[in-house]
Amino acid sequence: GENVEQHPSTLSVQEGDSAVIKCTYSDSASNYFPWYKQELGKRPQLIIDIRSNVGEKKDQRIAVTLNKTAKHFSLHITETQPEDSAVYFCAARAAGNKLTFGGGTRVLVKP
Amino acid sequence: GAGVSQSPSNKVTEKGKDVELRCDPISGHTALYWYRQSLGQGLEFLIYFQGNSAPDKSGLPSDRFSAERTGGSVSTLTIQRTQQEDSAVYLCASSLRQGVEKLFFGSGTQLSVL
């Protein structure tokens, strides 16, 4: 089955700096890669996603890049703000529509 | 309802007891997932339902875990003979249909096995 690895597990950045989270996946048939944000005590929510026919997608301060050959994808957050502090999960969908999540990255933005 | 609803929000049980966790997906959503989130950990896939298709049970950790979805709507996750390692937050999520990937998560059930 699909296996998704996520790094780092924790990330501390100064407000205004950029944050980058990286994920790798194992199943070359995976074709959909979402990112979810989970604030403390809340449910995960989709923030951005990318499909395998696209190499990069941007939405305001967040962007996701995908390298199908290397089977890795990354989340980039620019100009970080305190409200960006949360746990971020990457995921990959292979055959059967099952979504496999990475282990999560706890991001702390220091003011 | 407006979102995915889970009940109970908290469940404390004794080791060896059975528990049932309930999930009400968003009306009209045909895909339903159960995930488990242990403290500070990632989202562990448990089971996936899609319409009338046979569920994908590949994530269930043992035969003590089972789930059903009645009438294509409400789902119940049952854990028999609970163990302390079952303590976690159990999250349910639904999506409109296969191919519409955005998951809407419930607020979860915090299960504590004493």
- Contact assignment for A104 to B103 by CB distance below 8 Å: no
- Chain A closest-CA separation from residue B68 CA (Å): 17
SS3 A84: helix
Contacts of B13 (CB under 8 A, 6+ apart): B19, B82, B111, B112, B113, B114
pLDDT at A5: 95
Amino acid at A44: P
Judge whether B21 and B109 are in contact, CB under 8 Å: yes
Q: What is d(CA A12, CA A19) in angstroms, rounded to the nearest whole number?
A: 8
pLDDT at B98: 65
What are the pLDDT tens digits along chain B (114 aa)? 579 999 999 999 999 999 999 999 999 898 999 999 988 778 999 999 988 888 999 999 999 999 999 887 999 999 999 999 999 999 999 998 766 678 999 999 999 999
Nearest to A34 among B41, B50, B101 (CB): B101
Handedness of CA A52, A56, A59, A62 (dihedral sign): positive
Binning pLDDT at 50, 70 and 90, where does residue A38 land?
A: very high
Chain B residues with beta carbon closer than 8 angstroms to that of A32: 101
